[in-house]
Amino acid sequence: MRGGEGTAVVVGSGPNGLAAAITLAEAGLHVRVLEAADSPGGGLRSFRNERFGTLHDHCSAVHPLARISPFFRRLGLEREVRFVTPPRAWAQAMGAGAAEPSILSSLTGSAARAAASFAGVAAHAMLPPASPLALGTGALLGGAGLLSGWPIPVGGSQAIADALVRRAESLGVLIECGRRVDPADLSAELEAADLVLWDTDPATAHRAVSPAAPSSSRRYGPGAAKADFVTSAPIPWRDQRLRRAGTVHLGGTWGEVARAERDVNAGRLPAHPFSLVSQPSLFDPARAPEGLHTVWAYAHVPHGSSADSAEVITREIERFAPGFAATVLDVTTTTAADFPAYNPNCVGGDIASGATRGWQLLTSGTLRTRGPVSGSGPVSGRGHLFRTGLQRGLLAAPWALPREGWFLCSGATPPGPGVHGMSGHIAARLALRELGRRRG
């Protein structure tokens, strides 16, 4: 499709929303992005601690998938954003030291330490490490780390968002911030658009399709309790090898990680929640003035927990780095219960929007949605997934919504959570294909 044919609206400007907007604009559509926040980027946004002049990332800080994303590679993202790659992608903090990733250690090192190292990567799925989705997560992120490291963007994750915004605007995409979309009261531009793509959690998109859509059918996982520290020194790890890792997993052995993840999935706060820690200022000096450091960390806690993030994370870091608390000058916290105020997609603090719960990644959360998908209005009747497969192509089921021209494009769709843009790019390609069929 060329020559400015058609209009599209993208709701949300996270990495997937921006990827969708770019893909649609490259095909010649007039594209408008509606973002509720005051600035674009979603989970890529960064903020500055004005008191200390330090730079912090609101959500993601380390990006294992950035270098291997086909969409980012095609865009030439690394020409626009400078990344620094720590000597070690990750390390697992253990009672007697660190389990570091390397092909050599995997082959010849302690089996228990290698298992612990993998468990820390697999637990990014917020599931016990032996769970099928956790095993897949571990293989994907671990493989990315061994191939190209887990890079950190110089100048904060906002640098990635800014690069995507520049590309989108160069293609004529109009990005409007401060435009919150009410699913129960859609604007005329959404109703009239040829295509509408939702970089939101599935429940929001389905409420827009039909206010009567069930909101309780989607299951969400544990939450993230996050803390951003300003410190007077690097973390004083008991095992100095941990300083070489861009991400440190605080979880101990495979069994300890598995037990903590079972607890949070059952709604219990573990004695030692699995936690992730990064010190971007060790690798990107622009993050903090001389003599100061930044620490980015979050712990896995029960869904919607109000547990004090600073207290939980400080306690866990102190287990492996005695004296850390004495270096803390300031801390900004976000509890799991607070997360939706910053990003509505993170219901109860679930930063995966339920994508790691059972088969939801493959269904767009619509197994209980009813009706055919022909026509331009919302639907009623049983069997959305089956009818979507017949009428819009079986492979479109994870992205297709039960309204013609509407697609989900967030990280709740394949390939899943992470900063890669592929969920948005794939959804946009499917939407363009459907629009082309409709127009013959």
Claim to verify: residue 29 and residue 170 sit in the same structural domain: yes
- C-alpha–C-alpha distance, residues 284 and 412, integer Å: 31
Domain count, the chain: 2
Among residues 323, 342, 361, the one where a domain terminates is 342
Claim to verify: residue 405 and residue 287 sit in the same structural domain: no
Beta-bridge partners for 299 = 225, 275
**316 part of a folded domain:** yes
**70 part of a folded domain:** no
Q: Is the pTM of this model over 0.75?
A: yes
- The two structure tokens encoding residue 293: 């450091």
Q: Looking at the predicted structure, is the pLDDT value of residue 202 above 80?
A: yes
Residue 406 neighbours by CB under 8 Å, 6+ apart: 195, 196, 197, 198, 205, 208, 209, 400
**113 part of a folded domain:** yes
What is the SS3 assignment for 396? Answer: helix
pLDDT tens for each residue of 15-71: 999 999 999 999 999 999 999 999 999 999 999 999 999 999 999 999 999 999 999
Claim to verify: residue 131 and residue 198 sit in the same structural domain: no
Claim to verify: residue 326 and residue 310 sit in the same structural domain: yes
pLDDT tens for each residue of 330-375: 999 999 999 998 888 899 999 988 888 877 777 665 443 333 343 4
Claim to verify: residue 12 and residue 119 sit in the same structural domain: no
- C-alpha–C-alpha distance, residues 160 and 65, integer Å: 13
Q: Structural domain of residue 171, as residue ranges?
A: 7-44+157-216+352-438
Q: Which residue has the higher pLDDT, 274 or 379?
A: 274
Whether residue 354 contacts residue 360, with contact meaning beta carbons closer than 8 Å, is answered with yes
Picking from 376, 41, 384, the residue whose alpha carbon sits closest to that of residue 186 is 376
- C-alpha–C-alpha distance, residues 324 and 375, integer Å: 60
Claim to verify: residue 100 and residue 230 sit in the same structural domain: yes
Q: Looking at the predicted structure, is the pLDDT value of residue 129 above 70?
A: yes
Claim to verify: residue 165 and residue 33 sit in the same structural domain: yes
What is the pLDDT confidence band of residue 390, given thresholds at 50, 70 and 90? very low
Mean pLDDT of the chain: 89
**95 part of a folded domain:** yes
**61 part of a folded domain:** no
**206 part of a folded domain:** yes
**398 part of a folded domain:** yes
Claim to verify: residue 30 and residue 138 sit in the same structural domain: no
pLDDT tens for each residue of 401-440: 989 999 999 999 999 999 999 999 999 999 999 999 888 7
Among residues 319, 342, 365, the one where a domain terminates is 342
In this structure, what DSSP letter does residue 42 have? Answer: G
In this structure, what DSSP letter does residue 417 have? Answer: S
- C-alpha–C-alpha distance, residues 104 and 193, integer Å: 54
Q: Which residues of 399-425 are buried (b: 16+ CB within 10 A; e: fewer)?
A: bbbbbbbbbbbbbbbbbbbbbbbbbbb
Instruction: Assign residue 422 the CATH number of its domain.
Output: 3.50.50.60
**72 part of a folded domain:** no
- Give the pLDDT confidence score for residue 210 in this predicted structure: 83
Claim to verify: residue 106 and residue 145 sit in the same structural domain: yes
Claim to verify: residue 297 and residue 148 sit in the same structural domain: yes
What is the pLDDT confidence band of residue 101, given thresholds at 50, 70 and 90? low
Q: How many CB atoms lie within 10 A of CB 398?
A: 28
- The two structure tokens encoding residue 241: 């090898």
In order, the DSSP letters of 325-355 are HHHEEEEEEE-TTTHHHH-TTSGGG-TTTTT
Claim to verify: residue 232 and residue 308 sit in the same structural domain: yes
Claim to verify: residue 129 and residue 228 sit in the same structural domain: yes
Among residues 305, 321, 342, the one where a domain terminates is 342
What is the pLDDT confidence band of residue 94, given thresholds at 50, 70 and 90? confident
- Overall average pLDDT of the 316-321 stretch: 96
pLDDT tens for each residue of 68-84: 999 999 999 999 999 99
Q: Looking at the predicted structure, is the pLDDT value of residue 382 above 60?
A: no
